[in-house]
Amino acid sequence: MATVTFDNASRVYPGQERPAVDNLNIEIGDGEFLVLVGPSGCGKSTSLRMLAGLEEIDAGRILIGDRDVTDVPPKDRDIAMVFQNYALYPHMTVADNMGFALKIAGTPKAEIRKRVEDAAEILDLTEYLDRKPKALSGGQRQRVAMGRAIVRSPQVFLMDEPLSNLDAKLRVSTRTQIASLQRRLGVTTVYVTHDQTEAMTMGDRVAVLDRGVLQQIDSPRRMYDHPNNVFVAGFIGSPAMNLFDAPLSDQGVEFGGAIIPVDRSTLSETDETHVTVGVRPEDLEIAPDNQGLAVEVDLVEELGADAFIYGRRVGSEETAKPFIARVDARRPPAKGETVYFRPSPEHTHLFDAKNGQRLGD
């Protein structure tokens, strides 16, 4: 096991002016599970491939432990990678697939067999060792790919969207298995995904990237409660946070017909007359006195214990952006109804209207 350090690491693809990864600085602890997340093209897979040695580094460096591996070939970095497409040899058995890297390295047959059997027991694959990949389900193939990484006993696991080929139900169960397995093995792991639900449920810490730039790295809870900027606020959370411009007054922020009190020290951080307000769907309540933000209900999404309404703000030009609120599942408002919402003041997020940075703690 080892730490991993991205030290001002950058990658610019030939013919491109903007870096795919721009001055990335991350320190990953020994045995930590770090998730890189962001939209397509944000640089997360490029960052992983830089760590693996599959992409050149144009500036900065990467360390595994105290060793600078910036110019070290992939085979000498002591890492194991799990790909999205499994990359199994179809003509080999499960056991042969799992032990192939050890065979190439000249490991004795008896040791290969022992390591493969130990990994198969951990992954519940013992009864499938003599089968070919075509006889396995998608989830079982992914576990074989995991087993191939485990038998090598690397210092670092790298996982590039390993669950994207699985159906929704299997993804949920497999992500639980991967997180549990990583904690049991204690191997430093860097995991790439575009799915922020995966990121929030699996990682010890989450790093959010956008256009090659690290936006925030934090624990899932801290990131959810204290997003650094508008991008992180809108990206992390399902359903997404409501974000809109609101005028400032002497008492605080105008929220429809209501005033949300805000500490004056927070408002002093901006010289704008408006701020960007962020409120998560679960932090809104219906205002019985109609003193709040008026929302016309377009859709009621009933999920059993919860219900979410999707609507449009009455009188707002931002009709393309739906307003989302969690409501009582037993008494949800009807489609077409106008409902007034007020946010919980302690869970209202404020951002600078110009640069998008968080205001206050």
DSSP secondary structure of 17-60: SS-SEEEEEEEE-TT-EEEEE-STTSSHHHHHHHHHTSS--SEE
Query: Of 347, 345, 343, 342, nearest to 287 (Cα)?
Result: 342
Confidence of residue 319 (pLDDT cuts 50, 70, 90): low
Answer yes or no: is pLDDT of 100 > 60: yes
Q: Give the HSE-up count for residue 359: Cα atoms under 13 Å, Cβ half-sphere.
A: 26
Cβ atoms of 293 and 260 closer than 8 Å: no
Output the pLDDT for position 95.
Answer: 95
Alpha carbon 31 to its chain centroid, in Å, reads 18
The first and second tokens of residue 133, run together, are 């990949």
Output the pLDDT for position 306.
Answer: 86
Task: Report phi then psi at 83, rounded to 5.
Answer: -95, 165
Report pLDDT digits (tens) over 177-236: 888 889 988 999 999 999 988 999 999 999 999 999 999 999 999 999 999 999 999 999
- The torsion angle over the Cα atoms of residues 246, 240, 293 and 325, rounded to 10 degrees, is -160
pTM as predicted = 0.90
DSSP string, 97-113: HHHHHHHHTT--HHHHH
Confidence of residue 295 (pLDDT cuts 50, 70, 90): very high
